[in-house]
Amino acid sequence: MGKPVLAARNLHCGYDDFAVIRGVDLDLLEGEFLGLIGPNGSGKTTLLRALTGRLRPTSGDVLLDGRPIAQIPRREVARRLAVVPQISSPPFEFTVREIVAMGRSPHLGRLQAEGPQDQQAVEAAMALTGISGLSSRPVTELSGGEYQRVVIARALAQEAPLMLLDEPAAHLDIGHQVEIFDLLLRLNRGEERSILCVSHDLNLAARYCDRLIAVSDGAITAAGTPSDILTAEFVGSLYGCEVRVDADPGGHIVVTPLSRELDGVGAR
Ligand code: ADP
């Protein structure tokens, strides 16, 4: 694992007077697959938005390749860093291909038409995410899972060496979840893309990520390999529930939340 390609230094940010992220230090190392975990409302999306340069810190810095991201022109940032935001409603009047082709805009001059290299990147991104057959469909007519793959394809078409993803598998069935995480892993291992991925699914995070960072109440409470930090005690305290932690036959951590009703936890 190489040098930090994206870093937060004593980062504070939030919305108006509302402080969300409070003093975060974080490094995404070159070639790393890093997972961000933590309960709802802990600040993961806010942190990700600050790391993309979209949300200005109230204090502290975000450094892209060692330079303050706020000082780097947006197009240059977009050539280095692709973002898959949390799924929102699809914009009107665009086809799947048009949305994916938007990923090429950081590589094109103003009013410059797509060249063969751009077309190739768009076709490849659609093929990798399994949406080539949907190419001319309006995005408003897609299922949540299909649209999620379109947004991932747009980020792939961007051909940026860093990818930041907010819950990329949230709307996908288990087959498509594994497909997307396998794709991310191939990009990570084969092309050495550095990946930072928010995941609510601890089992996917444990299987695919080199390292996990846990966020609670706007601060980092733990960082380490999945087996280092995903202990029953830590996960239970992070999410406020009881869990069982096992290892699968491949040695990966499996976290099972325990139920009051079915497992009788908490009933004393
Ligand atoms: P997470 O991604 O971990 O669920 P978020 O970063 O979305 O957490 O939210 C952290 C806190 O910031 C929450 O209390 C949430 O209500 C608040 N928040 C998120 N987005 C906004 C916004 N646009 N304006 C004001 N508060 C927000």
Q: What percent of the chain has pLDDT over 70?
A: 99
- The pair phi, psi for residue 117, each rounded to 5°, is -65, -40
Cβ of residue 50 lying under 6 Å from some atom of ligand 1:
no
Q: Average pLDDT over the chain, rounded to whole?
A: 92
Of ligand 1's atoms, which has the minimum distance to the CA of residue 14?
12
Of ligand 1's atoms, which has the minimum distance to the CA of residue 215?
3
- Calculate how far, in angstroms, residue 70's C-alpha sits from the geometric centre of ligand 1: 21
Q: Give the per-residue pLDDT at 143.
A: 86
Contact predicate 106/187, CB 8 Å: no
- Calculate how far, in angstroms, residue 14's C-alpha sits from the geometric centre of ligand 1: 8
Q: Give the per-residue pLDDT at 36.
A: 98
- Calculate how far, in angstroms, residue 114's C-alpha sits from the geometric centre of ligand 1: 37
**Atom 21 of ligand 1, residue of closest alpha carbon:** 15
How far lies 4's CA from each of 28, 35, 170, 193, 218, in Å? 5, 15, 28, 13, 22
Radius of gyration from C-alpha coordinates of the chain: 19
Partners of 68 in beta bridges: 63
Contact predicate 160/81, CB 8 Å: yes
> Could you read off the pLDDT of 164-208 as tens digits, one per residue?
999 998 878 899 899 889 989 999 998 889 999 999 999 999 999
- Calculate how far, in angstroms, residue 196's C-alpha sits from the geometric centre of ligand 1: 19
Q: What is the spatial distance between Cα 13 and Cα 32, in angstroms, rounded to a whole number?
A: 25
Residue 35, amino acid: G
Write the DSSP assignment of 186-224 as a string of letters. HHHHHS--EEEEE-S-HHHHHHH-SEEEEEETTEEEEEE
Partners of 83 in beta bridges: 164
Q: What confidence tier does 250 reach under pLDDT thresholds 50, 70, 90?
A: confident
Q: What is the spatial distance between Cα 172 and Cα 169, in angstroms, rounded to a whole number?
A: 5
- Which three-class secondary structure state does DSSP give residue 31? coil
- Calculate how far, in angstroms, residue 46's C-alpha sits from the geometric centre of ligand 1: 6
> Could you read off the pLDDT of 14-25 as tens digits, one per residue?
999 899 999 999
* Ligand 1, pocket-test mutation among 16, 18, 215, most atoms within 8 A of CB: 18
Cβ of residue 199 lying under 6 Å from some atom of ligand 1:
no
Cβ of residue 20 lying under 6 Å from some atom of ligand 1:
yes
Tell me how far the alpha carbon of residue 233 is from its chain's centroid: 25
- The pair phi, psi for residue 26, each rounded to 5°, is -155, 145
Residue 203 in tokens: 């089992």
Contact predicate 166/45, CB 8 Å: yes
- Calculate how far, in angstroms, residue 103's C-alpha sits from the geometric centre of ligand 1: 26
264 or 69, higher pLDDT: 69
Does the pTM surpass 0.85? The reply is yes
**Atom 20 of ligand 1, residue of closest alpha carbon:** 46
CA-based nearest residue to 210, from 235, 191, 227, 234: 227
All domains of the chain, ordered by start, with CATH?
Answer: 4-92+156-226 (3.40.50.300), 231-268 (no CATH)
- Calculate how far, in angstroms, residue 136's C-alpha sits from the geometric centre of ligand 1: 35
